[in-house]
Amino acid sequence: MTRSKVFGEVAELYDAARPGYADALVSEVLAYAEPGGHAAVEVGAGTGKATVSFASRGIPLVCVEPDPRMAEVLRRNTARYPDVRVEVGGFEEWEAGGRRFGLLFAATSWHWLDPHRRWDLVHAALEPGGALALFWNPQGVLDVELHGELAEIDRRHGVVNSPHGEPASGYRDDPGSWCQEADAECRRDGRFTDLRSVRFRRALHYDTDRYLGHLTSLTAYRVLPDERREQALAETARLLDAHGGGIDVHLMSDLFLARTV
């Protein structure tokens, strides 16, 4: 199943159910990048879960999104920001048209890019001294018993990498594996400097319906056969309803920063 198939077919649900990113993360990126009036480019913008936070700070944006259905929702969500431009296509095929940017960011989309080309593409898109910001939203379940029961449902139905796959107690203050992998790749590349990683943490409550919507929008569930997916979601709904009608998590926002030499 292609990325477009996974996300585009549930674009509205993705937009409604997925959490956004911490305001403190956006502030950290902008303080690091100091974009001034320079435009930024967002890779894999989706429906704008991060885009709106940057656009509302007055940052001119070029948003590259491969799925037309996601891009349609993105245009609607950013319609009040005249300095946001949406360009449909994969970043690997995207033409900058001679433009170079002071900031490039990717919100939970970096892992979709070709690992053999992405550092070259980023370097080509950024002006000298331009900043790269990569970020993700892992989360951990506060109730250890609930985590265990959810993990058992996942095991029965073959769900891997679900957002309730870890208890909150398993997360430290240091950023997780995505940031560590980006850091290691960036150091091997050698064309970037001033590498930093930061973790932000906040409490978040989902009621059952919103959490089911969140799960339905995820690759881990989209790739399941329809019947298996519906069974897993139904069992999860019954469990959450039995635990008070929702789930409490610690939502992390992990941020990796670098700049071109």
Distance, in Å, from the CA atom of 10 to the CA atom of 18, rounded to the nearest integer, reads 11
pLDDT at 59 > cutoff 60: yes
For 135-149, what is the mean pLDDT? 95
Confidence of residue 174 (pLDDT cuts 50, 70, 90): confident
Confidence of residue 6 (pLDDT cuts 50, 70, 90): low
Give CATH for domain 3-260. 3.40.50.150
Per-residue confidence (pLDDT) for residue 150, from 0 to 100:
97
- For residues 66 and 1, is the Cβ–Cβ distance under 8 A? no
Confidence of residue 173 (pLDDT cuts 50, 70, 90): confident
- Pairing state between β 246-260 and 139-141: antiparallel
Distance between start and end Cα atoms, the chain = 38
Per-residue confidence (pLDDT) for residue 176, from 0 to 100:
87
pLDDT at 190 > cutoff 50: yes
Query: φ, ψ for residue 18 (rounded to 5)?
Result: -70, 140
Residue 65 token pair: 């999104």
Could you report the per-residue pLDDT of 75-88, keeping only the tens digit for each? 999 999 999 999 99
Q: Please provide the average confidence, as pLDDT, over all residues in the chain.
A: 93
Confidence of residue 16 (pLDDT cuts 50, 70, 90): confident
Per-residue confidence (pLDDT) for residue 105, from 0 to 100:
98
For 141-153, what is the mean pLDDT? 96
Distance, in Å, from the CA atom of 108 to the CA atom of 204, rounded to the nearest integer, reads 18
Confidence of residue 142 (pLDDT cuts 50, 70, 90): very high
